[in-house]
A and B are shown apart, each in its own frame.
Chain A
Amino acid sequence: MSETTENVDTVEITVNGRAVMARKGEMVIAATDRAGEHIPRFCYHPRMSPVGMCRQCLVEIDTGRGPMLQPSCMVPVAPGMVVDTESPTTKRAQEGILELLLANHPLDCPVCDKGGECPLQDQAFSHGPGESRYVEEKRHYEKPIDISALVKLDRERCILCDRCTRFADEVAGDALIHFVERGNATQVMTYPDEPFSSHFSGNTVQICPVGALTATPYRFKARPWDLEQADSTCTTCSVGCRTSVHSSRDRVLRFQGVDDDNVNWGWLCDRGRFNFESIHAESRLADPLIRTAEGLVATDWSSAMSITADLVRSALERSGPSSIAILGGARGTNEDAWAWAALADALGVTRRDAQLDDGLPVGVLGFERATIEDAARAATVVLLGPDLKEELPILHLRLRHAAVEGRTRILEFSPTGSGLTKHAWRSVRTPVGAAAATVAATLADAEVAAQLGSGPVVIVAGRHDLASSGDQVMAAVQAVLRAVPTATVLPALRRGNVVGALNAGCRPDGAGNDARSILVDAAEGRIEVLFLLGADPLADVPDADLARRALQGARRVVSLDGHGCASTMVAADVVLPAAVMAEKSGTTTNLEGRVSTVSHKVTVHGTARPDWMVAVELALALGHDLGVGSLEDITGRLASGGAALGAIWAPSIAVGEPVTVESVAPSGYDYRLVVSRVLYDGAVSTSNSASLAPLTAGPGVSMHPLDMERLGVVDGDVVTVTAGRGGVELPVCADDRLDRGVVWVPFGQGGGDPRELISGGAVTDVSIARVS
């Protein structure tokens, strides 16, 4: 064997006369890419299975039987293989293919969004014949057609490379676009009246090698050569996808996905991709505001800051630091959170929480941590979390990929099922209120135990249900860990920098200081000053009534806010306009604890400032020097504390005592309520993006068809859902994935708000009646 002297993972091949070490099993085109020899291509995409469709990457490959033209995207490297990417035969083939590709492609580059960054245009210049002899009439189709609310398709420009259709089927699992017809009449199409409403549709625009697919929010906004770019991180959710922020004339015009092996593989969800629109929304706050008899009136920063300092001083003097509380911080950078935590430390304020009673006890960060990659390579992933497709969409894609490839088996516990249910090895309908017991019973099964014993186990833990307590999830996680002590935990908390904020110190030091206790104390008049750092309790705290009473009961509310959210506009006494992502630099931490950068790309709106700067100035006004004068100072402090760029930042956080939760038996009410989030809801960045806001599905309650039959209602009928405190009216729809006796209401869809039913108990039981 000639390989005995070589590394078993590498294969030596010759590319254009030069020895190249390739990775065993990789395709020739991947090896030549790394060797710096560009082979033109259209259908090949490194994150999807090769199809060998466009034939553009044909090169001469000699495996000992003489050089043969072969598609380099489909031929794996083999020892001794000789590849010639520049032979006359190769060049003739590539020119020929390009001429044929261009035969039916319209010459509308000057009005095409892709012009200037178009692989077809670029490769026609670099590898094409330069001119066409095709004088025939080109194919004609209606152009462009809407295939979804976000994506338009121009079939005349399409070169049928199968990238978008492969993505939809293979990556997203939403085969809603497909080739139809045959041969020269082949087109990409949706089924009539069934749009390409995938959460991931925007990726097809990015990977389209021509201008066939364009995104409605970007069409005709800019030319590629006018765009400035900066790599950044999406902070819409906590997955932390790497992005490139593209701006022109000081406006952000689009986000593109950047391929990061550890995280997003280049993909973005549509919410993260298109919510750039919110940066320039009309609701942005430009100046500080002070509440007067006439309502909120604009003021300058020095007045606003001195009023805020006075409020803090008098609170400290009158009632001590326990009368001051800080909610939020998860939407900012690590630096923002660090500065506010440092300010709180300086003042002795311990009441702080980056979550809004809608996540998990902070102890979830104390478990042995798993990365996304760990989860995607685990033998078993135990899902004890939200519907990842709706809340952490790219984590969904990574786990879906692992499951579809057959590497990983998913054991799902959920009261409703999720986007991963159909890929799950087992999906256990878990009664709300009895998760830990159900987990323990399931894990006692011999087959399940054997599966869990077959290799690494990763638990994905998050808050699926806002109508039952987070302790239920913690108890279930601990039940898994009792059975599999070596299992690691990937915390599926939701907000962009929630882990960074908690890590940096915006966290309660115990249950007595968490968001719920802060809100209860505020409601009962024990909070003098409540700081809201990009937090909107009125919209986000599951117990709506508590949130209202807390904001009324807090003596003063200071809100640091980018968009003028409900809590700010209704309850804040002082409003400080905050810079949002793309307006500030810094670092952020994703759910793994991975630290990455966010980039300052456009000028801040009005006089808005980044959170960290406000904290540092407020500290100075109160006579405390936080010891940092610039963003870089803070970044440096963080790095030396473990939050270095690229590192996994997992400071020691106590898990706390094992949570014991008694299974909660159904009460006298008829139905147990589950409330969870979907991709598009009233979130600030969604509702302030013109393209995304209309995509919220609207309010409703889902229940088992047999339960509907019992109530005598059909799809679309309005029912009253009542809990102890009050009732809401919602249209009903059937969902046979639910157990009988369980009803599901999506969060944040406007209309009847399920939060009116939630009162912070272990579970929420409701009765339902027909509105006659």
Chain B
Amino acid sequence: MSDYAWAPGFVAGDRPRIVTSRFEHEDSYTLARYEATGGYAGLRAALARPAADVHEEVRASTLLGRGGAGFPAGVKWGLTPQGVFPRYLVVNGDESEPGTYKDRLLMERDPHQLIEGCLIACYAAGLSRCFLYIRGEMALAQERVATALNEAYAAGYIGKNILGSEFSVDIVLHWGAGAYVVGEETALIESLEGNRGMPRLKPPYFPAAIGLYGKPTIVNNVETLSNLPWIAHHGAAAYTSIGTESSPGTRMVAVSGHVRRPGVYEIVNGTTTFRDLIYGDEFCQGIRDGNELKAFVPGGGSAPWFLPDQLDLPFEGRLVGAAGSMLGSGAIMVMDSTTDIPSAALTLTKFYAHESCGKCVPCREGGTWLMRILERVVEGQGTQDDLDLLLEVGGSICPGSMPHAASSELGLEATPFPYRMTTICFVGPSAYVPVHSALTLFRSEFESRVAPSRSKTRIPVTAIGGER
């Protein structure tokens, strides 16, 4: 159902396209096609100006990071401490959030656009070496990027004295090896240093200050960087004329699950609503088999769930946050009325429990415990107490109130994003989010399959080994 056989999953539509403009060409990944379609014009434009001006242009574009946190890229670049060198660029191509894929397509279909984006970022922010970290499981993307890098080196776009200028930078291709948590920027840096991908605590390890090899490091997502050639070429004003003031430009969104036409779409940022995306003709064209929408995950597997109540919200970070969830990495997963909610929650919880790096106790122990309890419940072996226990264990990962959507049916008000957490990164909380969403919005589905409370099983926590 894709528009192009060579880009499975991608649906072009009739909308402004910034990062997917070349997808219509089967050979979009080659240097020849790239140069023939305006490629490296952004780099040439950038090199003609002082680096600080290019940085300012990106700041003015309000380009938001596409990795999940949505932090403005131009501002991020400015966070490096003055006068400390070397500084590095690390490209986060470790896309693995459930429901999400766009970086993979951008790497497979337009690797030169990414390379050009990297070069512009390095030039603007004074970054002297770039490491392009691609998820290990993406063999085709690795192949396409490696080929593109070899072409670009040979053509003088990368390396010493790029295009005859003083600007010199290497881009080093690096593959991951299968660990979701490495998508977190400090874990990515650990992994790039040859270590276990365990996140570092921020503070003090803000990559911009203490990053790769302890040096200032900018970590940018593939999609973020892929926007830079266009911005450098057309200017910030042209960019901000698309989308809304707080969320300019376009962004890639993958909609999957029980819809008629799942796909990856480049949408205008900030204005498109979830209803447009799920029901619109140019998008997913409604729920499969004429079924009803039951719930959807609006921002990748870590996001609290939405109900049909939230369909008319635009795909915009602040509004979605206020409504109790997050946009995350641009991934919507749709569940229709046939969905078994406890099983769906279990699927996600299992994912995050499996992907725990093991560093923080609440995630390492709590994630697996949540999974075990939920398994018991799904298999019909649970009790009422188990449902409370799920919330209790979750409370040890995310203390205090949890964000959730409003429900007209349940008479629930929304609790806005974010949550508090006892862990360093979001993997631990993400194991609890689906449990909390499912239990809050669909408790009856759980209650119908658990037995009443048994007499409580409580075990003393330590055996006393002598006089104390």
Contacts and interface: CB of A to CB of B under 8 A. Distances in A.
Chains A and B touch each other in the complex, with CB atoms below 8 Å apart: yes
A421 interface: no
Interface string B410-424: 000000000011111
A435 B175 CA distance: 50
Contact of B358 (A51, A135, A179): A179
Nearest to B356: A183
A74 interface: yes
A65 interface: no
Interface stretch (B143-151, B243-251, B281-289, B452-460): B452-460
B424 A184 contact: no
Contacts, number: 145
A133 B457 contact: yes
Given A97-B361, A136-B369, A223 B465 contact: yes
A116 B466 contact: yes
Contacts of A76: 204
Contacts of B464: 109-110
Of B357, B361, B420, B467, chain A has the most CB atoms within 10 Å of the CB of B361
A69 interface: yes
Contact of A183 (B204, B364, B458): B364
A89 B399 contact: yes
Contact of B396 (A52, A97, A131, A183): A97
Of A68, A129, A133, chain B has the most CB atoms within 10 Å of the CB of A133
A116 B463 CA distance: 11
Interface string B361-382: 1101111110010000000000
A96 interface: yes
A93 B457 contact: no
Contacts of A92: 395, 399
Contact of A74 (B201, B354, B359, B393): B201
Interface string B340-353: 00000000000001
A588 B397 CA distance: 52
B362 A100 contact: yes
A186 interface: yes
B357 A183 contact: yes
B364 A130 contact: no
A133 B458 contact: yes
Given A69-B422, A133-B389, A160-B358, A184 B364 contact: yes
Nearest to A89: B399
Interface in A358-417: none
Contact of B459 (A55, A89, A132): A132
Contact of A71 (B201, B355, B368, B457): B201
A100 B361 contact: yes
B139 to A, nearest CB: 22
B395 A69 contact: no
Contacts of B459: 107, 131-135
A526 B359 CA distance: 70
A132 B201 contact: no
Interface in A107-143: 107-110, 112, 115-116, 120-121, 124-125, 128-136
Given A116-B468, A133-B457, A124 B462 contact: yes
B400 interface: yes
B360 interface: yes
A100 B396 contact: yes
Interface size class of A (residues with CB under 8 A): 35 or more
Contacts of B397: 96
A75 B368 CA distance: 28
B160 interface: no
Contact of B395 (A96, A109, A134): A96
A97 B396 CA distance: 7
Given A131-B460, A134-B369, A184 B201 contact: no
Nearest to B396: A96
Given A71-B201, A160-B358, A183-B358, A99 B461 contact: yes
A160 B393 CA distance: 20
Of A76, A110, A183, chain B has the most CB atoms within 10 Å of the CB of A183
Contacts of B458: 131-133
Interface in A56-75: 56, 58, 68-69, 71, 74-75
Contact of A160 (B364, B369, B372): B364
A115 B465 contact: yes
A755 B392 CA distance: 70
B234 interface: no
Given A69-B399, A92-B399, A186 B364 contact: yes
A107 B463 contact: yes
A116 B466 CA distance: 7
B461 A132 contact: yes
Interface string A182-221: 1111100000000000000000000000000000000000
Given A53-B361, A71-B201, A133-B458, 5 more contacts: A101-B361, A104-B365, A109-B462, A182-B196, A184-B367
10 contacts: A93-B399, A96-B399, A97-B396, A100-B361, A100-B362, A110-B465, A116-B468, A133-B392, A133-B459, A136-B372
Closest 3 CB pairs of A and B: A96-B396, A115-B465, A186-B358
